[in-house]
Structure 1
Amino acid sequence: MLLKLFAPVLHSFRVGVQRMTHVFARSTSSLPSQAIMHSEHGDPNSVLYLENSQMPRTVQDTEVLVKMIMAPINPSDINMVEGTYHMLPRLPAVCGNEGVGEVVEVGGRVSSLRPGDWVIPADTGFGTWRNFAVSDQTLLRKVPNDVPAISAATIMVNPCTAYRMLKDFVCLHEGDCVIQNGANSAVGQAVIQLAKEWGYQTINVVRNRPDLDQLTEYLKSLGATHVVTEEFSRSHQMKDLVSSMKSPPKLAFNTVGGDSATNILKRLDNKGVMVTYGGMSKKSIAVPTGALIFKRARLTGYWNAKWVQENKENPELVRMFDDLFDLVRECKLLPPASETFSLSDFQHAVKTSLEGFKGSKKIFLMDEYP
């Protein structure tokens, strides 16, 4: 099963190391393009549609024509379509916040990019679920094209979230422990790999499922120290597990909410911090009074889109991407197991992305490359 899930990753390595062979005739004034769009907010299974159009080849002085290569379906993309995300684009809008594309044409005053470069959106709301996009150069970020395309397409949201949460809230030292729920999510998998690289232990909570043994084996192959179920996290055995470690977790990552969040909060060390970055259960967090008074636990949140928006000129932003891509090259930061879809098959892609116990990230592959 794992080989099947990672087939797109192996395919993307070829995409990453081979330059695209598609050549666009200079005489062509426009290019056929498709885009997945929505003109109203609501159920993604109902409001999304595929629009066919002709994309002009000509660009203005500071503009860039980008041919999209890959783009994932993330929870934030779905939330934008539903109208529940805190940042919403003007409608009608092309869907998709994350993805990687190749520069095809550049305007006369564009000096930082050239044809053949790979780029990702510099901000939220770009609209990546399409074949082509014309954008001002300031809205794009150049990324290496010597890495797998799937890694570049999925670097902007989940690995960056994991990186910042591990760096910004608690000063961790080698051997320290981090606990997280939703550990099989793309962020959770990135947390496991970065923690392993930086010498941290991890306790990873997941929902019970039919293929639990397989999931546990997979997460441990990424570097997970312990993998436990939600039921186990509520038991006395969980207390024993934490007691057996060098010290209780100093940092907790919550993407579930509800009882799951309360359970990992209870396991924090004195003055520990729980960072919430999602709310999959859509349930509020019940905070034990003792955790606040006697353990002096701190609860806070992280929103990657906002951090990136506020740190566009911060050298730490560049350093973060450099660090992450170095780990990608060293095969120490693998992309999540994935399944690819064509744009024309968007209904199936979106439907399966909304199903429970997803075993793979759903990714739009704009073309089948040799």
Structure 2
Amino acid sequence: MWLRLQSVCLRKLTVRPGYVSGVFDARLRRSVSHSASRAATCKALQYNKHGEPAQVIHLVDVDYGPVGAKEVLVKILAAPVNPSDVNMIQGTYAILPDLPATGGNEGVGEVSEVGCGVTSLKPGDWVIPKDAGLGTWRTAAVFSEDDVVSLPNDLPLLAAATLGVNPCTAYRMLADFEDLKPGDTVIQNAANSGVGQAVIQIAAARGISTINVIRDRPEFTQLSDRLKAIGATRVIKEEALRKPDMKELFKTCPRPKLALNGVGGKSATELLRHLQVGGSMVTYGGMAKQPVTIPVSALIFKDVKVRGFWVTQWKRNQSHDGRAFRSMIDDLCSLIKQKKLAAPACNEVHFEEYIKALNAAMQPFTSSKNVLIM
């Protein structure tokens, strides 16, 4: 009896007169079966070494143990393939998990069992990771209660699965670097990316205009129309940044207070040139793999501020007090429910066809996010 009690959370039990030991023992057996799940197996996409994702990722069976007192068993529903996931597998990201590792830093799952010490979650809740590195490319996992945050379980699946990285990045960059008010302007490159699409929608919901820069491509007009349909004020080609037409553009809207750079290289330099005096450029990515060059004149005569942002670090800085993170998630969920924020264009890929998703994520001019559906 003592060994059985050690395996579960101890509960205060009152034995009323007339209760025999057999009744007490039956209740205890039911408590054990409810509180601790047996070890089980899930499917997972793992890698034992760094390299190109399609070459080093393999679908394997992985054991997960019983649910501890402060843990939850989560059935993963959907998980996207992000550039950070690819970089982590390649071994070039700023943080790398111990090997062997399960891929995926983002996704949504449904709680199917909770430990007896869990207070903030219940079966049926939807959850997303609070931080990178949990490994979401699997069909199920046991997580600490503190490693996930709950979402309404009536959100669109793709919106929930893609909420934790790109919309959070967009939200923080719009909130934390300049005091933006309705009527202000933001300029951004990589406007067709997941972050870019979230910036467009969140800014539009706040009455902020966006100038959205994308690389020229055969389907430029279709992509431009799609971005305008979700709230983009203007969509221009990168070449236009260096043309006199920009002066005409700024006769109809104020120069931007904020520039958001996800590309680097010449594109970032041109964004910087169009900032108003005292404005900020925030770099969150470097798809061109070229350094950001800052004109001296922009620093001296326009007093621009050049900053960087990494949402993973922001989340870790907030880990001691989850109120800011919780508030941001609630705001984003509210925008989704109001149909003011939708998932980016997505390709749904069955989990066991993961090679398709990995290969597609490596292609240039990608305007759709590949999401693994479990």
TM score, norm. by length of structure 2: 0.88
8 Å contact 1:273–1:297 — kept in the other structure? yes
Once the two structures are superposed, what CA deviation does each residue of 1:23-47 show, in whole Å capped at 9, x if it has no partner?
xx99994544211111111211221
- Counterpart in the other structure of 2:267: 260
How do 1:344-363 residues align onto structure 2 when only pairs under 5 Å count?
344-363=352-371
- Counterpart in the other structure of 2:343: 335
**1:172 CA drift (Å):** 1.2
8 Å contact 1:36–1:343 — kept in the other structure? no
8 Å contact 1:34–1:343 — kept in the other structure? no
Closer, same or farther in 2 for the Cα pair 1:290/1:334, shift >3 Å? Answer: same
Q: Which amino acid aligns with 2:295?
A: P
Q: Which of the residues 275, 280, 292 maps onto 2:287?
A: 280
**1:53 CA drift (Å):** 3.4
8 Å contact 1:38–1:91 — kept in the other structure? yes
8 Å contact 1:76–1:85 — kept in the other structure? yes
Distance in 2 (alpha carbons) for counterparts of 1:53 and 1:278: 33
Once the two structures are superposed, what CA deviation does each residue of 1:278-336 show, in whole Å capped at 9, x if it has no partner?
00000011111110000011100000000011112142221111110000001000100
**Which structure exhibits the higher relative contact order, with contacts defined as CA atoms closer than 8 Å and separated by 6 or more residues?**
1
Closer, same or farther in 2 for the Cα pair 1:34/1:113, shift >3 Å? Answer: same
Q: Which amino acid aligns with 1:316?
A: A
Closer, same or farther in 2 for the Cα pair 1:31/1:179, shift >3 Å? Answer: same
Higher alpha-carbon deviation: 101-110 or 47-56: 47-56
- Counterpart in the other structure of 2:227: 219
Q: Which amino acid aligns with 2:93?
A: Y
**Is residue 236 of structure 2 the alignment partner of residue 228 of structure 1?**
yes
8 Å contact 2:193–2:367 — kept in the other structure? no
Distance in 2 (alpha carbons) for counterparts of 1:193 and 1:124: 24
Distance in 2 (alpha carbons) for counterparts of 1:168 and 1:285: 21
Distance in 2 (alpha carbons) for counterparts of 1:141 and 1:247: 39
Once the two structures are superposed, what CA deviation does each residue of 1:201-260 show, in whole Å capped at 9, x if it has no partner?
110000011111110100001111110001111211123212x13321110000000000
Distance in 1 (alpha carbons) for counterparts of 2:273 and 2:198: 24
Q: Which amino acid aligns with 1:101?
A: G
Greater radius of gyration (CA): 2
- Root-mean-square deviation over aligned CA pairs: 1.6
Distance in 2 (alpha carbons) for counterparts of 1:280 and 1:45: 20
Q: Which amino acid aligns with 2:100?
A: P
**Is residue 318 of structure 2 the alignment partner of residue 311 of structure 1?**
yes
- Counterpart in the other structure of 1:194: 202
- Counterpart in the other structure of 1:108: 116
8 Å contact 1:208–1:229 — kept in the other structure? yes
Could you say what secondary structure the match of 2:354 adopts? helix
Which segments of 5 or more consecutive residues in structure 1 lack a partner in the other structure? 1-24
Higher alpha-carbon deviation: 258-267 or 26-35: 26-35
- Counterpart in the other structure of 2:28: none
What percentage of residue pairs aligned between the two structures are identical?
47
Q: Which amino acid aligns with 1:34?
A: K
- Counterpart in the other structure of 1:182: 190
**Is residue 110 of structure 2 the alignment partner of residue 97 of structure 1?**
no
TM score, norm. by length of structure 1: 0.89
Q: Which of the residues 287, 298, 302 maps onto 2:305?
A: 298
Distance in 2 (alpha carbons) for counterparts of 1:204 and 1:227: 5
Which segments of 5 or more consecutive residues in structure 2 lack a partner in the other structure? 1-32
